[in-house]
C-alpha cells in the first residue's frame, strides 16, 4: 500500500463547470479544500487529481494569515502540476469570492488574490452577473520555430483530406507561443467552421524545437476561426484545443496566448488585421467560444492592454474573465 503523507485526512471538495452558467457545459473543474492543519505531499495531490480525471484540479489552501481574501492555490493536471491555467483560476475565483460574507448579495465587486507558482494573481467577482476576472501572470514569448503545414497535416490528417492546392485550409506555417514558461500552444488559423470541425484528437504529440530555456513545456494545438467583430469592436473567435487524445472544452491559458499574439502582431487597420500590433496603451477585447463541437460550449473573455511604450512593443496586462456554476460537492479521504 502506498504511504500517504497524511493518512486518514478528510478533505472537502466541490466541482464546477467553468466558462458557463449552464450545468454540464463549459469545462469541469474539481476544487479541493486544504485546511491549514493538512499537509499534503505532491504525490497526494497528484493522485487525487488523477482520481478526479478532469483536465485540472485545484487545491485551495486556507486563507493566508494576515492577508485578507488571499489564498494559495496549486493546479494539477492528471500527470503533473502546472504553474498557471485559466479555467482553474476563474473557477476558483468564483468559488472562493462568492462564499465570502458580505452585507448583501448584490454587492457590485468582491476582490482577492491567488498565490500561484506563476506569481500572484489579482481576482475579482461580480455577484450581479456571476462573472469572475483574473489579471493573469504572463511572459508572452513567440518562439523562433513555427509549425509547418506539412507537419500539421501529418498529425491532423482529417484537415489534410479537406485541403487542396487551391484551398490549403491553414497557413503554410503557424506560430508557436508561450503565455508563461511551461504553457505553450501552436496557434493555427483555419479558413472555415468546416475546417475547425475537422480537427481531431489522436495519438500524436506536438514535436517542435522550442527556444532555449523555454523547452520544458506543455505543448498543444489551438485552432481558431475568426468571426465577425461585435458592434463594440470585440473580436469574436471560435476555437478548439487538442493535445494528443485530449480535447479541452475551455482553455484560458491558450485563449490568453492567442489574444496576446494577435494583439502584438496585428494593427487596427483592415478590421484589426493590418499588421504592426496594437497601439501603445490600447486595450483589445476578445470573446472566444470553445468546446462547441464536443457539446460543452464555453465562453471566454480576454482583454489585452498594450504597454504604453512602442519600443519594444509589449503586453502590459491580460485580464481573463468568465463564469462558473457549482455542480457537485462531497468529501474524500486519503
Report if residue 175 sits inside a domain.
Answer: yes
Q: Residue 270 has what pLDDT?
A: 40
Q: Are residues 147 and 230 in the same domain?
A: yes
- Binning the chain into helix, strand and coil, the percentages to the nearest 5 are 20, 40, 40
Q: What are φ and ψ of residue 225, in 5° steps?
A: -130, 130
Q: Are residues 43 and 114 in the same domain?
A: yes
Q: Are residues 40 and 130 in the same domain?
A: yes
Q: Are residues 100 and 181 in the same domain?
A: no
Q: Are residues 162 and 107 in the same domain?
A: no
- CATH label of the domain that carries residue 67: 3.10.310.10
Q: Are residues 103 and 226 in the same domain?
A: no
Report if residue 52 sits inside a domain.
Answer: yes
Q: Cell numbers of 216, please?
A: 520544458
pLDDT tens figures, 89-99: 999 999 999 99
pLDDT tens figures, 41-58: 999 999 999 999 999 999
Among 4-18, 174-188, 205-219, which stretch is predicted with the lowest mean pLDDT? 4-18
Report if residue 145 sits inside a domain.
Answer: yes
Report if residue 4 sits inside a domain.
Answer: no
Q: Are residues 50 and 159 in the same domain?
A: no
pLDDT tens figures, 253-287: 999 999 999 999 985 434 445 456 788 889 999 99
Q: What burial letters (b/e) apply to 224-249, b meaning 16+ CB within 10 Å? A: bbbeeeeeeeebebbbbbbbeeebbb
What percentage of residues in the chain have a pLDDT greater than 90? 81
Q: Are residues 145 and 264 in the same domain?
A: yes
Angle, alpha carbons 198-204-210 (nearest 5°): 110
Q: Are residues 158 and 280 in the same domain?
A: yes
Number of domains the chain contains: 2
Q: Are residues 298 and 177 in the same domain?
A: yes
Q: What is the mean pLDDT of the chain?
A: 92
Report if residue 125 sits inside a domain.
Answer: yes
Q: Are residues 162 and 266 in the same domain?
A: yes
Q: Are residues 123 and 220 in the same domain?
A: no
The parent domain of residue 119 ranges over 10-135+324-333
Amino acid at each position: 500500500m502506498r504511504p500517504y503523507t497524511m493518512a486518514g485526512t478528510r478533505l472537502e471538495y466541490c466541482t464546477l463547470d467553468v466558462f458557463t452558467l449552464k450545468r454540464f457545459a463549459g469545462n469541469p473543474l474539481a476544487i479541493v479544500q486544504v485546511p491549514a492543519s493538512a499537509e499534503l505531499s505532491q504525490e497526494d495531490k497528484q493522485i487525487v487529481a488523477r482520481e478526479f480525471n478532469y483536465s485540472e484540479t485545484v487545491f485551495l489552501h486556507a486563507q493566508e494569515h494576515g492577508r485578507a481574501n488571499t489564498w494559495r492555490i496549486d493546479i494539477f493536471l492528471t500527470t503533473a502540476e502546472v504553474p498557471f491555467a485559466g479555467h482553474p483560476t476563474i473557477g476558483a475565483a468564483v468559488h472562493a469570492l462568492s462564499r465570502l460574507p458580505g452585507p448583501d448579495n448584490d454587492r457590485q465587486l468582491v476582490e482577492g488574490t491567488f498565490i500561484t507558482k506563476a506569481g500572484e494573481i489579482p481576482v475579482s467577482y461580480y455577484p450581479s452577473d456571476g462573472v469572475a476576472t483574473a489579471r493573469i501572470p504572463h511572459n508572452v514569448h513567440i518562439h523562433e520555430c513555427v509549425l509547418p503545414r506539412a507537419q500539421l497535416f501529418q498529425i491532423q490528417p482529417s484537415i489534410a483530406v479537406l485541403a487542396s492546392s487551391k484551398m490549403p485550409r491553414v497557413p503554410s506555417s503557424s506560430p508557436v507561443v508561450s503565455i508563461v514558461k511551461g504553457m505553450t500552444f501552436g496557434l493555427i488559423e483555419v479558413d472555415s467552421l468546416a475546417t475547425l470541425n475537422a480537427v481531431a484528437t489522436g495519438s500524436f504529440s506536438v514535436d517542435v524545437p522550442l527556444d532555449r530555456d523555454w523547452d520544458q513545456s506543455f505543448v498543444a494545438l489551438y485552432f481558431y476561426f475568426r468571426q465577425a467583430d461585435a458592434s463594440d469592436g470585440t473580436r469574436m473567435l471560435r476555437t478548439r484545443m487538442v493535445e494528443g487524445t485530449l480535447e479541452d472544452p475551455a482553455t484560458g491559458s491558450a485563449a490568453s496566448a492567442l489574444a496576446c499574439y494577435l494583439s502584438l502582431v496585428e494593427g487596427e487597420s483592415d478590421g484589426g488585421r493590418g499588421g504592426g500590433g496594437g497601439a501603445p496603451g490600447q486595450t483589445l477585447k476578445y470573446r472566444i467560444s470553445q468546446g462547441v463541437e464536443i457539446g460543452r460550449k464555453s465562453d471566454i473573455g480576454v482583454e489585452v492592454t498594450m504597454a504604453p511604450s512602442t519600443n519594444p512593443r509589449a503586453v502590459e496586462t491580460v485580464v481573463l474573465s468568465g463564469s462558473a456554476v457549482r455542480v457537485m460537492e462531497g468529501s474524500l479521504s486519503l
